[in-house]
Amino acid sequence: MEVIIHPTAEDVAARAADICCDALNKNPALVLGLATGSTPLALYAQLIRRHQAGQVSFRGVTSFNLDEYVGLPPSHPQSYRHYMHTHLFSQVDIDPARTHVPDGMLENPMDAGPAYEAAIRAAGGIDLQVLGIGANGHIGFNEPTSALHSRTRVKTLAEKTVTDNSRFFQPGEFQPRLAITMGIGTILEARRIVLLATGDGKAEAVANMVEGSVSAMCPASALQFHVKTTVICDRAAASRLRMRDYYQFVLAQQDALTARFGLR
């Protein structure tokens, strides 16, 4: 697991955008896994600016989002389909027909998981998966105690996740307690993973993910098994890492090699 620590959240977004744009320019037919929530917003803003500047195209991209609420139509302002349309898809040249978000409105939500897994397989698997991390260590909506080999399925949201997300819903408005999410096993099959974490509210989760034991109580800790995961965090989110100095030393050596030999 590569750990990159930058001073600010904006620096985190810029570094993640560098990785995404490099992957997109090397493979215009990239299969891209996408995340929602507050953390990726700065990344998506960076990608939009770079697209508008002619630095990157999404024309050949196929995308798969991590999750969607059960019971929210795509037009609902808090659905993740609406989020992606607003914050990325409508502002770049991606083909809407090649953007995938789990269907939270199926008559039987249990059918959504197998259908999503089949669509990912048909696309050839995910090349680059963007992740955030919840304060309780969840990735996607894989809450603590989720099986580390799990596949796309319906999950009941933890009380803390519901509370954290309640700020996005109006008082008295229906707020889903169920979501369809890629499983941890599904996420681990991505060829490369980039996880973004910002703010001191994520510090404990980041420390457990990177330096703690692999445990279902911190679902993100399963990323320790992945051969090519990059964790990019700001100083606040990295504040509880015991080996911060080492990670920064490693990054300096890697950047020096990149500058000298064009390696990464």
Token readout for 201 is: 């509210």
Q: Are 127 and 190 in contact (CB under 8 A)?
A: yes
Rg (CA), the chain: 18
Residues 209, 147: Cα–Cα separation, whole Å: 15
- Asked if 136 is an active-site residue, the reply is yes
Q: Single out the catalytic residue among 65, 67, 226, 234.
A: 67
Q: Kindly write down the DSSP assignment for every residue of 47-109, as one continuous string.
A: HHHHHHTTS---TT-EEEESEEETT--TTSTTSHHHHHHHHTGGGS---GGGEE---TT-SSG
**Which residue in 68, 127, 143, 234 is the catalytic one?**
143
- Does 2 qualify as catalytic in the annotation? no
Active-site residue (options: 76, 100, 138, 226): 138
| Catalytic residue, candidates 51, 68, 136, 165 | 136
By C-alpha distance, which of 131, 124, 140 is closest to 60? 124
**Region class of 56: left (phi > 0), else alpha (psi between -120 and 50), else beta:** beta
Handedness of CA 226, 63, 93, 72 (dihedral sign): negative
Sign of torsion, CA 230 34 218 238?
positive
6 is catalytic: no
Cβ–Cβ under 8 Å, residues 226 and 192: no
Active site residue 143: yes
- Complete edge-to-edge strand list for the sheet that includes strand 153-156: 67-69, 178-181, 153-156
Q: What is the DSSP string of 161-215?
A: HHHHHGGGS-TT----SEEEE--HHHHHTSSEEEEEE-SGGGHHHHHHHHHS--B
Catalytic residues: 67, 136, 138, 143
